[in-house]
Structure 1
């Protein structure tokens, strides 16, 4: 896989000129700032629009979905790299809890892993939507910051499972190393 400039991703709809943040130069610059300066990510990122033939949400709604795929993040204590898929939906079929879709992407990694911080569709619940801006990721923070948040989240999931996970009748629940919002939180209402 190679890094690809988002400017090549089409910005017009057939028969119209609907502006979409996913094809905005300002959005692209903010998101991709410094991506190529980090050796670990160089050549690992592929960017494009979801194919309506293979992506159910794009097919059902006709919406545009900007997809960023990372070939594999190096998560501490893991032997294998973890592929990551980030989706920026034009009109999300999931709740953004009042946040802009450009600041609330759908992030998928390590499908099916047990976690106390995932949405019903198995995407990662990375921050509490009700927190102030400085405690949430925003597109102006860039892709590198989002990928580091994902890496930490995956490490926290591993530690949580290794220390007891959901717990049981005779076993205490595992330890989550990061900040947490009390549950239930709005992220649990997110069903795809």
Structure 2
């Protein structure tokens, strides 16, 4: 069962401890949590790369997550002033652009997925950013920035189309959309 965002908001320190000691998320080397302004949960994490990527000298990443009481999430890479990012929101926030909020829920993290899936999304995103810096190519289907002309951005690869069908979700009408990711 996923560690709920409600539990993270209630006790960010316990959530950080969970990430450090439960075998539910790969690569969490350090974690600290506290309550921030407006009741937001602030988590500061140190994430090590996968072993094969560590051998390729991928960096250990530090990130600050801000989870607001409305479940809006912002992920801020730390120690990143001298590095380029392909998918980062413009100032003033400069947080990571983790996903396109208009895409089908099968292709997005939603709060009901819990903390572990969120950390995995952020960690994967940071690894993809490093792969892009090294090769100039995003290592998965790359969602364009901005609003599509109609509906959602089209899925270009057969693999992503297949995964969207495989992981299809049909949220109930009362579930709230979380556009700030």
- The TM-score with structure 2 as length reference comes to 0.58
- Structure 1: where are the runs of 5+ without partners? 1-5, 10-21, 51-57, 91-100, 164-173
Q: Which has the higher contact order (CA 8 A, sep 6+)?
A: 2
Q: Note the C-alpha offset of 1:86.
A: 0.7
Task: Determine the structure 1 residue equivalent to 2:77.
Answer: 109
How many residues are aligned here?
133
TM-score by length of 1: 0.55
> Is the counterpart of residue 177 in structure 1 residue 139 in structure 2?
yes
State which of 88, 102, 105 in structure 1 corresponds to 2:67. Answer: 88
Shift of 1:107: 0.5
Shift of 1:71: 2.8
Gaps of 5+ in 2: 1-5, 149-178
Q: Find the aligned partners of 2:29 and 2:129 in 1 and give their Cα distance.
A: 27
The partner residue of 2:112 within 134, 140, 143 is 140
Q: What SS does the aligned partner of 1:37 have?
A: coil
How large is the Cα RMSD of the aligned pairs? 3.5
Separation (CA, whole Å) in 2 of partners of 1:41 and 1:160: 20
Report the alpha carbon displacement of residue 34 of structure 1 after superposing the two structures with TM. Answer: 10
Instruction: Judge conservation of contact 1:73–1:84 (CA < 8 Å) in 2.
Output: no
Distance (whole Å) between structure 2 residues aligned to residue 107 and residue 39 of structure 1:
17
